[in-house]
Amino acid sequence: MPDFTVAIPTYNGAHRLPEVLDKLRSQINTENFSWEIIVIDNNSTDNTAKVVEEYQKNWSENYLLRYCQEQQQGAGFARQKAIKEAKSNLIGFLDDDNLPAENWIAAAYSFSKKYPNAGAFASQIHPIYEIEPPENFRKLAPFLAITERGENPILYEPSSKLLPPSAGLVIRKEAWLENVPDKLILTGRANGKMLTSEDLEVLSHIQQSKWEIWYNPAMEIYHKIPHWRLEKTYLLSLIRGIGLSRHVTRMIGVKPWLKPLVIPAYMANDLRKIIFQILKYGNKVNTDLIAACEMQLYISSLVSPFFIWRKLYLESK
What DSSP assignment string belongs to 31-46?
TTS-EEEEEEE-S-SS
Segment 40-55, tens digit of pLDDT: 999 999 999 999 999 9
pLDDT at 272: 98
Please say if the pLDDT value at position 80 is more than 70.
yes
Give the number of other Cβ atoms within 10 Å of residue 22's Cβ: 11
Q: By the 8 A CB rule, do 89 and 114 touch?
A: no
Quote the Cα angle for 85-78-57, to 5°: 60
Please say if the pLDDT value at position 214 is more than 90.
yes
pLDDT at 195: 73
Q: What is the DSSP letter of 124?
A: E
Structure confidence at residue 316 as a pLDDT band (50, 70, 90): low
Please say if the pLDDT value at position 249 is more than 60.
yes
pLDDT at 29: 97
Average pLDDT over residues 184-212: 85
Q: What is the DSSP letter of 133?
A: P
38-76: string of b/e by CB count within 10 Å (b at 16+)? bbbbbbbeeebeebbeebeeeeeeebebbbeebeebbbb
Segment 255-293, tens digit of pLDDT: 999 999 999 999 999 999 999 999 999 999 999 999 999
Summary mean pLDDT of the chain? 94
CA of residue 103 relative to chain centroid, distance: 21
Average pLDDT over residues 186-207: 83
Q: By the 8 A CB rule, do 302 and 265 touch?
A: no
| R_g over Cα of the chain | 20
Structure confidence at residue 191 as a pLDDT band (50, 70, 90): low
* 295 vs 301: CA distance, rounded Å: 10
* 156 vs 204: CA distance, rounded Å: 11
CA of residue 22 relative to chain centroid, distance: 22
Q: Find the helix or strand (DSSP H, E) in which 245 lies.
A: none
Average pLDDT over residues 155-167: 93
pLDDT at 50: 97
Structure confidence at residue 151 as a pLDDT band (50, 70, 90): very high
- Of 186, 208, 173, nearest to 308 by C-alpha is 186
Segment 3-20, tens digit of pLDDT: 999 999 999 999 999 999
pLDDT at 194: 64
pLDDT at 310: 84
> Identity (one letter) of the amino acid at 169?
L
* 233 vs 186: CA distance, rounded Å: 22
